[in-house]
Structure 1
Amino acid sequence: MKRYLPVARQHFLAALASTSVVVKSICAVVLLLYLLSFAVDTVFALGVTPGFLFPPNFWVWTLATHCVAETHLWDVGLSLATVVAAGRLLEPLWGALELLIFFAVVNISVGLLGALAYLLSYVALFDLSYLFTVRIHGMLGFLGGVLVALKQTMGDRTVLKIPQVRMKVVPMLLLLLLAVLRLTTLIASNVLASYGFGVLSSWIYLRFYQRHSRGRGDMSDHFAFATFFPEILQPVVGLLANLVHSLLVKVKVCRKTVKRYDVGAPSSITISLPGTDPQDAERRRQLALKALNERLKRVEDQSAWPSMEEDEEEDSMKADDPLLPEKSRDTLTAGKAANQESSLITFEDAPSQL
């Protein structure tokens, strides 16, 4: 184990060096606050405490600071790995500013939704521990957001070969694992709440609100909410998700999906959705047609390939008689062909005439 630590450290530093100042700054703040936690209770001062977030206390700054407050070394390592992975995989696609916006949106949403969930738990159970004992902190919410973003950008990539696990199922697999650990009381409830609300808030932001060159949001089918669940549950989840979306559209929280029909397209009618790239779809179609044409051409070439038996026979005859002139070789070849033809013809005695 010790011999792998220098290699891991070297790879981590190399990855960190290739990221922007945004990623470096977040990592530096996480390390600084971890060192400060030995002297001060940083989780109490910077983490989200549901009873202190709402009136009359209004500790609203904790919505922005809870994500960088850690008290354990392994939590610090997970936080740094999450931020660096986002910098390496998402920042080249989005840019440093958009990554910072995504970081802020997900973490603020995790703190706010988590506090509301614990407030509702207190209303239902009248247990003050939900208000003043729970601390929401750490990067687990942002980890869920990064996994959702990777599902959007590289969902078909295989992350494990045995058993085969694709990137698109990783967010829900980890959520299921955390739920099982919570049922066995191995982890606290704030861990599951942070990750779950991170997955939910990041999907909502990427699905409906993220701005990019193609418009706003990503309305493609492979990023629908139902795709987070197994195929057997997707029809039911899709129906419920559509009902919720229709309700949110009516209260003007979400915008209605806009479809643009291009009836002047040369091949067929094309439909453009916000967040989808028609040029990418056309490029994939052209690649598929090219591969199909190459395969058909290969089949035609194989079927039209001339028989090489006669040429091989002539070459062997030339090799056996290298001193014969060309005309003699042609004569021998013609004679041999005549003998083969005559051997195939049989004559029968004609019947006697009456």
Structure 2
Amino acid sequence: MAAPRVSSLQHSKFPIIRDHFAVAIGKSSVVVKTVAVLVTIGYFFSFITSAIPYITVTPGYVMPPNFRVYSFIFYSFVELHFWHVLADISVIVLFGKLLEPLWGAPDMLLFFVINSLGVGILTAFLYFFFYLVTLNEAYLFSVHIYGMAGYVAGFCVAVKQVMPDHCLATLPFGKLRNTHIPLTLLVFIIIMNLSGVLPGSYPYMYIMGLIVSWIYLRFYQKHTNGNRGDMAENFSFASFFPSQLQPLVAVISNSIFSVFVKVKLCNKPQRKYDVSSPTTITVTLPGTEPHDAERRKQLALKALNERLNKPESTLNWPSLDDDGPVSPTAAATSASGDAGAVTGPALAAPPASQIATPGFKDGSPSAANQSMGPSQENV
């Protein structure tokens, strides 16, 4: 009885998922639709076995005499499995929904081109390095680099940059946030690769995608205010690793960055001091967008308000002022002592309307002081 229920549940949810997916693609921009269509066309071309060496990157064929450098343009649109196509299109649509409103369609297309070319070239050179070490020609002519693993890595890096503290799920060992996704997905990809589900080049492409996308977003992406890159502390290279490894990674990455600055591959970040401010000195780092600073400010204010609104247990301390409010414990003790001391009938205080305060009607302080008794002046 359980199997028909599961199958009927799957059949009932599949049209809903399909409709949502179709609506998401329909509302996407031209860039998202174009890339999704090209990935679908590349999947159908993968059924032509003789075309695979020409539309995928084979490290031995991109060098002379074959010189198939055009394969760096087509390889990212080729997938050999349909579920890879669905995963790629889902990432493209999510990228368009989350980041295209912030970046714009031209910047999104530029990021895709830089990521695709960078991942293809670096992965091919990595296999050249494997060949030089092992002298195994299989690394040159039996390897086919294809797919959008590098773009998936770039999407993870971009989401970490924009929304690093967004919580995706609460797990038994802690909260899974966007800042944990790049490294977590890398571990998952390595496991899938060892089990034979993903091709051999997929982990290398993903790692190269992390490096290329981080370098572009960290140092070279141009913002609306004219600055380039994002020098925020929570977007450093060490922030991709667990907190226990971050000091070691920071030392290595900073040393490599110093070498790149000396050889003029990277520019040293410059700090701008606003000395015209009358109260404080404002330090501005290039690449820090105003909307990013405002977003972090709002998150900090929200966390502070939540902490302040938490109910705190307050203790009723006894008052040091004789005329001030008395704590409930002291009031009970005083009431019991007065009850034992007074044996006669209780004395009722006269109403306030019968208390004469001559000279106080005009509201002058001198009239009030004249109406007060000598015992009240010492209080």
TM-score bracket, shorter-length normalisation: 0.7 to 0.9
Determine whether 1:334 maps to 2:349.
yes
> 2-side partners of 1:17 and 1:154: how far apart?
25
Please give the root-mean-square deviation of Cα atoms over the aligned residues, in Å.
3.2
What is residue 111 of structure 1 aligned with on the other side?
120
- The TM-score normalised by the length of structure 2 is 0.74
Determine whether 1:8 maps to 2:8.
no
* Alignment equivalent of 2:65, drawn from 39, 56, 62: 56
Determine whether 1:254 maps to 2:266.
yes
Q: Which moved more, 1:185-194 or 1:76-85?
A: 185-194
3-state SS, counterpart of residue 174 of structure 1: helix
Determine whether 1:34 maps to 2:18.
no
Shift of 1:33: 2.4
1:232 maps to amino acid: Q
- State percent identity of aligned pairs: 39
What is residue 208 of structure 1 aligned with on the other side?
219
What is residue 268 of structure 1 aligned with on the other side?
280
3-state SS, counterpart of residue 271 of structure 1: strand
1:172 maps to amino acid: L
Structural mapping, 1:61-80, within 5 Å: 61-80=70-89
> 2-side partners of 1:33 and 1:252: how far apart?
39
> 2-side partners of 1:118 and 1:189: how far apart?
11
3-state SS, counterpart of residue 165 of structure 1: strand
The 1:67/1:152 distance shift into structure 2, 3 A limit, reads same
Determine whether 1:243 maps to 2:255.
yes
- The TM-score normalised by the length of structure 1 is 0.79
The 1:285/1:128 distance shift into structure 2, 3 A limit, reads closer
1:196 maps to amino acid: I
* Alignment equivalent of 2:156, drawn from 142, 147, 155: 147
The 1:30/1:41 distance shift into structure 2, 3 A limit, reads farther
What is residue 4 of structure 2 aligned with on the other side?
none
3-state SS, counterpart of residue 253 of structure 2: helix
Shift of 1:55: 2.1
Determine whether 1:176 maps to 2:162.
no
Structure with the larger RCO, 1 or 2 (CA within 8 Å, 6+ apart)? 1
What is residue 88 of structure 1 aligned with on the other side?
97
3-state SS, counterpart of residue 191 of structure 2: helix
Structural mapping, 1:194-233, within 5 Å: 194-214=205-225, 215-233=227-245
- Once the two structures are superposed, residues 70-117 of structure 1 have per-residue CA deviations (whole angstroms, 9 ceiling, x without a partner) of 121111111111111111111111000100000011111110000000
* Alignment equivalent of 1:21, drawn from 24, 30, 33: 30
The 1:73/1:284 distance shift into structure 2, 3 A limit, reads closer
3-state SS, counterpart of residue 211 of structure 1: coil
Shift of 1:53: 1.2
> 1-side partners of 2:185 and 2:284: how far apart?
33
1:12 maps to amino acid: F
3-state SS, counterpart of residue 259 of structure 2: helix
> 1-side partners of 2:114 and 2:348: how far apart?
86
Q: Which moved more, 1:221-230 or 1:245-254?
A: 245-254
Aligned residues: 311
8 Å Cα contact 1:218/1:276 also seen in 2: yes
- Once the two structures are superposed, residues 126-150 of structure 1 have per-residue CA deviations (whole angstroms, 9 ceiling, x without a partner) of 1111011111111111000000000
Shift of 1:173: 0.7
3-state SS, counterpart of residue 231 of structure 1: coil
What is residue 55 of structure 2 aligned with on the other side?
46
> 2-side partners of 1:14 and 1:116: how far apart?
40
The 1:285/1:141 distance shift into structure 2, 3 A limit, reads closer
> 1-side partners of 2:266 and 2:61: how far apart?
30
Larger helix proportion of the pair: 1
> 1-side partners of 2:25 and 2:326: how far apart?
62
> 1-side partners of 2:59 and 2:297: how far apart?
52
What is residue 321 of structure 1 aligned with on the other side?
none
3-state SS, counterpart of residue 135 of structure 1: coil
The 1:283/1:126 distance shift into structure 2, 3 A limit, reads closer
Determine whether 1:165 maps to 2:176.
yes
